[in-house]
Structure 1
Amino acid sequence: SLTEVVQTIKPADFLTVHQTPCARQGFLTGIGGGAAVGALRWVMGMPIPRAANWGVGVGALSALVQYEYCQYLRRQEREKMKRVVEVYDRKQAESRAQEEEMRRRERRRIAEAEAAERERRAGRGWWRFW
């Protein structure tokens, strides 16, 4: 539940929040978007407290959206890397199988050549006329 989630948050977590993936990008987008919207609303004639509320709201929303988008891109990249590793492993296995097949053929060819040489030697006499 929500209370259990809140209880897992430690004060030290707030000191390292900037180290979490995508947090920096989300914070910077939120700060920039919130400041821009707040300033724009103030310049357009809205009272400062209401313009600040708009700035904070837009900042929080844009930070959240940017954070989730960054996490989505990270998931996509992770899935792509899994596929790349799978393809690489499959190609390595195919390459090893081809190399093993080539070695097998080479051993078979050498064995056949040795057998043919033995037959050729066996067919000759042990003595020579000259």
Structure 2
Amino acid sequence: MADDTRQPPPSADTPINRDTLTVNPENKPFTGTQWQGGKQLPATTPPPNANLLAGGTENTAGGKAPDVTVGNAFKDGVKWDDFTQLRKRPCVRDALLTGIGSGFALGGARAIYGAAIWSSCTWAVGSFCFGAPAMYQYCLYKRQAEKQGMMRAVEILNKKDIEKRAREARKEKVREERRKNKDVELDGQLAALGEKQSASGGGDGRPWWKVW
């Protein structure tokens, strides 16, 4: 057990002087090193705060808003795959081919008819800048029209399917009614035949030639 560093309270007859107020230097406070044989443990760093999330934003605990820079804008919005996979996007291939073809044709025609190189190149670039977006918008319009046409065709097919099922249900209902009427008619014929046989064979319902 560690030594008790508390001093007994002075009694009423104890004189108050330097000796009574001085603490005994042998009575040291508990520091926790007594359990390790006097060895001081190395200092440990406190664990990280659980409320702080890695990569947090201003809406998370301990986060901060990212810096607004051009690099962050391109990093989050524009990727390199957007340029390398541009040709695979819808209508982009047709737009590029149309713009290149129209620019080459108009620029070449201007050069053949004696225009200056700079003028021919300007006409070619202008034709490309006009032809490619125009073809892109036309292609998008055709895709939208095809999409609407397919939706209309699907609606028509669904409507025809519903009508076909309704006709089949009506036919099945008519067949079921006919079957019930036929069963009722057959039951009536069998009952009449049984009554006729009973009347011709006697009151007991046996044929006339059966005596047993």
* TM-score bracket for the superposition, by shorter chain length: 0.7 to 0.9
| 1:30 equivalent among 94, 99, 105 | 99
Secondary structure, in 3 states, of the residue corresponding to 2:99? helix
Tell me the amino acid that sits aligned with residue 52 of structure 1: C
Distance 2:120 2:104 in 1: 10
Q: CA deviation at 1:54?
A: 1.5
Tell me the amino acid that sits aligned with residue 137 of structure 2: E
Matches within 5 A, 1:61-80: 61-80=130-149
Secondary structure, in 3 states, of the residue corresponding to 2:128? helix
Secondary structure, in 3 states, of the residue corresponding to 1:10? coil
**Where do 5+ consecutive residues of structure 2 fail to align?**
1-72, 202-206, 208-212
Tell me the amino acid that sits aligned with residue 13 of structure 1: D
Greater Rg, structure 1 or structure 2? 2
Question: Which residue does 2:26 correspond to in 1?
Answer: none
If asked which structure has higher relative contact order (CA below 8 Å, sep 6+), I would say 1
Matches within 5 A, 1:49-88: 49-88=118-157
| 2:170 equivalent among 101, 112, 115 | 101
Cα deviation 1:50-69 (Å, max 9, x = unaligned):
32122111112101111111
Q: CA deviation at 1:110?
A: 0.4
Distance 2:171 2:177 in 1: 10
Distance 2:117 2:91 in 1: 31
Determine which structure has the larger helix proportion and give its number. Answer: 1
Matched-pair identity in %: 30
| 1:13 equivalent among 65, 76, 82 | 82
Distance 2:184 2:88 in 1: 70
Distance 1:104 1:33 in 2: 66
Residue correspondences, number: 127
Distance 1:9 1:26 in 2: 21
Q: Which moved more, 1:59-68 or 1:40-49?
A: 40-49
Secondary structure, in 3 states, of the residue corresponding to 2:144? helix
| Counterpart check, 1:117 vs 2:186 | yes
What TM-score, normalized to structure 1? 0.86
Tell me the amino acid that sits aligned with residue 38 of structure 1: G
Secondary structure, in 3 states, of the residue corresponding to 1:96? helix
Tell me the amino acid that sits aligned with residue 17 of structure 1: L
Cα deviation 1:24-81 (Å, max 9, x = unaligned):
1111111010011112222233321232122111112101111111111111111111
Secondary structure, in 3 states, of the residue corresponding to 1:40? helix
Q: Where in structure 1 do 4 or more consecutive aligned residues deviate above 4 Å?
A: none
Q: CA RMSD in A?
A: 2.1
